[in-house]
Amino acid sequence: MNMFETEIWRIGVVRAPIQQVAAAGSLEGFPIRWIEADRSLCFLADPFGMWRDDRLYLFAEAYDYRTRRGNIVAYVLDADLNVLEHRTVLDEPWHLSYPNVFEADGEIWMLPEGYKSGKLTLYRAVEFPWRWEAVPEFTFPCAAIDPSPLFYHDRWWMFYTPPAPKAARTSALMLAKADRLTGPWENVSEEAIRVDKSGARMGGTPFFLDDKLVLPTQDCSQTYGGALRLLTMSPDTLSSPALSAGAYLPPPASNAPFTDGLHTLSAAGDVTLIDTKRHLHGSPARIAVDLNRKLQKLLGRR
């Protein structure tokens, strides 16, 4: 991790459904409610959410450069997208991100990325949105990165990126299937269904548009999470998918200086959730934090 290059992400609520954004092929012109971290050297990314009782419950990764670790926070917004409250809802000894939240079987679930734990963990809401418990019966073939589930034709499907080898983390897309959410899950193929650094790693919720299944994926060809590439396929070919590259979505230029990246597009009813990033070059605060970490490690070895 380069101490002289600091990425700061913020999350946005686009006042349009995801199908409308995809059809437009651009985020320009859509009103967006932006939410940023309230501490320095922190950022918010990977937003997912749902509406309940005229409240938007928005979940995101909250990352702190001081700890080099992310946890999951929840924001409650009213119908006018005013933030009513927010707090941490999931914190583990390992890094957490991509808090994919969805309803199924009469309950609310969260499937965040936590690949550094060595496995993929499914969580069930005990007291929505504040309390969650791990589901021990859930099994998955690997510690999936950015897992994105889809229920279609009475079967569960999971698009994800494998944690190894390292190069695959930004360039490979895998697909697994199961009869039940808790599994057991199995890969449709042992090989990736797509290998392409410009659009393979998932970046949001799968959705339907004009009888096509659309997958938001990250374009990491120039920088991590630089933009989104919408892949399309016929949903009836999930067992042997044939993907086509669709619209290219860059961060909206009108929202400078956060124009260096866009890597999430997720559906939440009549709004769409996104994130954008900016680069800070030579941040004194970041350099001080990293130098202090290196010093503490050096002293600990003595």
User: In the chain, what are the domain boundaries?
Assistant: 5-194+247-300
Measured over all CA atoms, what is the biggest interatomic distance in the chain, rounded to whole angstroms? 64
What distance in Å separates the CA atoms of residue 165 and residue 188, rounded to the nearest whole number?
Answer: 19
What distance in Å separates the CA atoms of residue 230 and residue 46, rounded to the nearest whole number?
Answer: 17
The reported pLDDT for the residue numbered 302 is 60
Would the CA dihedral through 160, 87, 260, 281 be positive or negative?
negative
Would the CA dihedral through 188, 194, 197, 201 be positive or negative?
negative
pLDDT in tens, 26-60: 999 999 999 999 999 999 999 999 999 999 999 99
CA distances from 226 to 170, 229, 251, 259, 301 (A): 11, 10, 8, 9, 38
The mean pLDDT of the chain is 96
Of 212, 209, 214, 151, residue with least CA distance to 177: 151
Buried-exposed string 136-157: b where 16+ CB fall within 10 A, e elsewhere: eebebbbbbbbbbbbeeeeebb
Could you tell me the pLDDT band of residue 119, with boundaries at 50, 70 and 90? Answer: very high
pTM: 0.96
What distance in Å separates the CA atoms of residue 124 and residue 111, rounded to the nearest whole number?
Answer: 9
CA 12 to mean position of chain CA atoms: 13
What's the N-to-C CA distance of the chain in angstroms?
24
Would the CA dihedral through 252, 18, 50, 162 be positive or negative?
negative
CA distances from 119 to 30, 82, 94, 100, 178 (A): 38, 36, 11, 16, 17
Q: Which CATH code fits 5-194+247-300?
A: 2.115.10
Interval 139-146 mean pLDDT: 97
Using the predicted structure, report yes or no on whether residue 295 has a pLDDT greater than 90: no
Which region among 125-129, 143-147, 215-219, 285-289 has the lowest average model confidence (pLDDT)?
Answer: 285-289
Could you tell me the pLDDT band of residue 299, with boundaries at 50, 70 and 90? Answer: confident
Using the predicted structure, report yes or no on whether residue 2 has a pLDDT greater than 90: no
The reported pLDDT for the residue numbered 297 is 82
